[in-house]
Structure 1
Amino acid sequence: MQNRQKKSSHKKPKKIYSFDEANDRLYDLFRNHDFDFISHEVRQKLVQFYQILMTTQISENFTRLVRFNDIAIKHFIDSLIIDQLTPLHFPLMDVGTGAGFPGIPLQILRPDQEIYLVEGVKKRVDYLKKVRSQLELSNLKVIGRYMNLDFTYPTKGIVTRALTDIGYTLYLCSQSLQSGGYIYFMKGPGCGPEVKKARELFKGDYKHLETLEYKLPKTTHERSLVIFEKLQPIGPEKYHQNFLGARS
């Protein structure tokens, strides 16, 4: 499964803040958006991540967000908030991670837990490995491949911000997610029909536990966190006919 982002022009940062200035700005922003519980150590790692991402963005088109406030709110808070909304199951696999969201911020927040980043584009894989090395994230594993039925790396939790359909993602992840494991879909508003279709198709194999609807703190940005549980082992051919011709 690829992290299908809408094609956009290559936006380059007009300014990359120094470490001290970015740290001060992130402190103020977190305080103003009800995220003042984030520790000094976590905030500093996020600042390092911001600098690596923006430096890379000069030559590579990894994100459409290049303004500091947008990165802090729509990347960092958007990623970190799911840890506040629901218990996450580890090891946690971030499928179609792209520039490292939500996996890297979650790893910075939860350095004691194992997180796997699954990404198929080589230049992104190289960048993710660079982030892991420079931020010394010893429990972060970067897996350079696309998610498909041949991918059987066992995990208890899967999270994705990729735009791929919920049902297709459940299908592709069925051989990696363990029975009793959870998959978390980070979606926008209005995903009810997509959830309903997946719930009906995978009845007995996956259970839709809940859909949490919320706004990023002190913003108008609406989000949905859709949670499914895998109930039992699923043969790789079981839903093959349902997704003939689908592209990952």
Structure 2
Amino acid sequence: MDLSSEQLDALWTYHQMLRAANASLNMTRIHNFENMVLKHYVDSLLVLELVDLPSPLIDMGTGPGLPGIPLKIARPEVRMILCEPRSARAEFLTQVCERLNLQDVEVYAHKLGPDYPGQVQGIITRAVASIPETFERVASCIEPGGRMIFMKGPGCDPEMAEAERDWPAQFRLQADHAYTIPGTTHDRRLVVYERTDVDPPLSARDAQARAVRAFEGTVREITSESNATFRQLSDLLTGRGVRKNGLAILAGPRITAEVAERFPDRVVGWITDAEGPPPADASWTWHRLSTPLFKAIDVAGTHAPLLLVEAPATATWSDAAPWPKGCTLFVPFQDPENVGAVIRSAAAFGVPRVVLLQEAAHPFHPRSSRAAGPALFQTELLAGPSIRDLDSRAHPLIALDATGEELDGEPFPETFGLVVGVEGPGLPEHLRQGPRRRIPIATGVESLNAATATAVALYAWSRRAGGLSKPRP
């Protein structure tokens, strides 16, 4: 091998750096000097005796820089991309390139796959994976006419047969060199394939990688529980977290699709697992979570993308402010599903506003928002006092109570408030002293669910007021 003194000096410096770093990084099990020269440096450089290197060339799974570093020293004109996903080894490679002053070389500190940005003329790999497995990972990374170079042992015929069976349209065998490292008994095979212009079959992983590359907005890859964004998303699973962050997570394909279509100005983000589809709007941030992390956020178990929306603080209700005509609904429910269900009923029956009393769960709690759906954005929501302190001098408050007058016995006032008791404790005493309505139920049944009772009452009011004949927004 005809190397200049400068190239030999560079190899010697690289060897010294490899020996020094190997104790902590465990990059090679070969420690004998002569074996390192033969099995690492000579073996890498013998490639030059058999093929001309394409450029740019990716050294896939380069580890300590083999064969990429020796090849780059010997062929400085080749643009070399050293692919090594392990961060400590990638840092070592960066130090080597700086120390040797290697130009036009890049350290790609990621696993090579269909999400690689762009295509290259060649990829070389040294005992990383089988030939078919490698094709599966990198077919989309190589330009048509580019070459895939495998440094293999002598027994790679089964791999080649499998590749011929599974990838005949995309990769054509160009060369198969059997050789022995001179002066040793170590047999080697250098197998070279040419990439055709036939597109590789699009696997789910390929399709997802293309979707990520094609998405023009912001993408956040989240794989760790300690990630700040994941901690924030986890915080949104509670009403307190929603209130603190001013954001909420909506779940369910029908709900997310309808909110995204009708209220796009409220949407700020899109949450999927690693295989989920991209957002429809490039202004939304795409949060791509690993599968375990997505399951932790998808508490409803929808297995579908989640919507991240603004959940603004609600204005405070005041009895002194003008009341809209119709029914103002006062809700003290502590169960989030009941809160969501009653907001949905309020929107369905034309209630102009819902006052959430201090006892009430947050309307954008995940269980509440799943029950309410788009109704969260269709009805005005206000924050009220405790049900114990609720009082009105402006308009009558009608309470639902089992001892009240028949629900349909009298017409409802033109403007009034409807109050339902807290689940379990029911109404405070001062509300029992005012106007009350009851819903007749079968003998032996103690009571209706609070949200169901509210829906029945709102239906009766809306029907009497002629609201059901009006088109709903």
Asked whether the 8 Å contact 2:169–2:198 carries over to 1, the reply is: no
| Percentage identity across paired residues of the two chains | 34
Q: CA deviation at 1:170?
A: 1.1
Q: CA deviation at 1:171?
A: 1.6
Alignment of 1:92-171 (within 5 A): 92-171=57-136
Name 1:51's counterpart in structure 2.
Answer: 16
Q: Deviations over 1:47-84 (max 9, x none)?
A: 00000000101222111111211111100000001011
SS of structure 2 residue aligned to 1:217: coil
1:79 aligned onto 2:54: no
1:227 aligned onto 2:195: no
Structure 2 distance, partners of 1:153, 1:145, is 14
Asked whether the 8 Å contact 1:171–1:239 carries over to 2, the reply is: no
Unpaired runs of 5+ residues, structure 2, are: 207-473
Structure 2 distance, partners of 1:128, 1:74, is 19
Name 1:192's counterpart in structure 2.
Answer: 157
Name 2:56's counterpart in structure 1.
Answer: 91
Asked whether the 8 Å contact 1:175–1:236 carries over to 2, the reply is: no
Aligned residue pair count = 206
Q: Sort the Cα spacing of 1:219 and 1:119 in 2 relative to 1 into closer, same or farther, 3 A.
A: same
Name 2:290's counterpart in structure 1.
Answer: none
Asked whether the 8 Å contact 2:53–2:78 carries over to 1, the reply is: no
Displacement over 2 Å in runs of 4+? 233-236, 238-241
Structure 1 distance, partners of 2:205, 2:120, is 22
SS of structure 2 residue aligned to 1:203: coil
Structure 1 distance, partners of 2:87, 2:169, is 37
Q: CA deviation at 1:105?
A: 0.3
Q: Sort the Cα spacing of 1:206 and 1:113 in 2 relative to 1 into closer, same or farther, 3 A.
A: same
Q: CA deviation at 1:93?
A: 0.7
Asked whether the 8 Å contact 2:84–2:110 carries over to 1, the reply is: yes
Q: CA deviation at 1:150?
A: 1.3
Q: Deviations over 1:2-61 (max 9, x none)?
A: xxxxxxxxxxxxxxxxxxxxxxxxxxxxxxxxx3x2221111100000000001012221
Asked whether the 8 Å contact 1:174–1:236 carries over to 2, the reply is: no
Q: CA deviation at 1:234?
A: 2.3
SS of structure 1 residue aligned to 2:179: strand
**Quick check: 148-157 or 229-238, which moved more?**
229-238
Structure 1 distance, partners of 2:127, 2:92, is 18
Alignment of 1:25-44 (within 5 A): 35=1, 37-44=2-9
The higher relative CO (CA closer than 8 Å, separation ≥ 6) is in 1
Q: CA deviation at 1:123?
A: 0.4
SS of structure 2 residue aligned to 1:175: helix
Name 2:293's counterpart in structure 1.
Answer: none
Letter in 2 for 1:223: R
Structure 2 distance, partners of 1:93, 1:139, is 12
Structure 2 distance, partners of 1:62, 1:218, is 25
Structure 1 distance, partners of 2:204, 2:121, is 21
Partner residue of 1:65 out of 30, 33, 58 = 30
Query: Rg bigger for which structure?
Result: 2
Structure 2 distance, partners of 1:139, 1:112, is 8
SS of structure 2 residue aligned to 1:168: helix
Asked whether the 8 Å contact 1:95–1:159 carries over to 2, the reply is: yes
Name 1:244's counterpart in structure 2.
Answer: none
Q: Sort the Cα spacing of 1:123 and 1:236 in 2 relative to 1 into closer, same or farther, 3 A.
A: farther
SS of structure 1 residue aligned to 2:121: strand
Asked whether the 8 Å contact 1:152–1:175 carries over to 2, the reply is: no
Structure 2 distance, partners of 1:211, 1:239, is 32
Unpaired runs of 5+ residues, structure 1, are: 1-34, 242-248
Structure 1 distance, partners of 2:18, 2:138, is 28
Q: Sort the Cα spacing of 1:194 and 1:235 in 2 relative to 1 into closer, same or farther, 3 A.
A: closer
Structure 2 distance, partners of 1:42, 1:216, is 21
Structure 2 distance, partners of 1:239, 1:145, is 20
Structure 2 distance, partners of 1:175, 1:77, is 31
Name 1:209's counterpart in structure 2.
Answer: 174
Name 2:138's counterpart in structure 1.
Answer: 173
Letter in 2 for 1:100: G
Q: CA deviation at 1:177?
A: 0.6
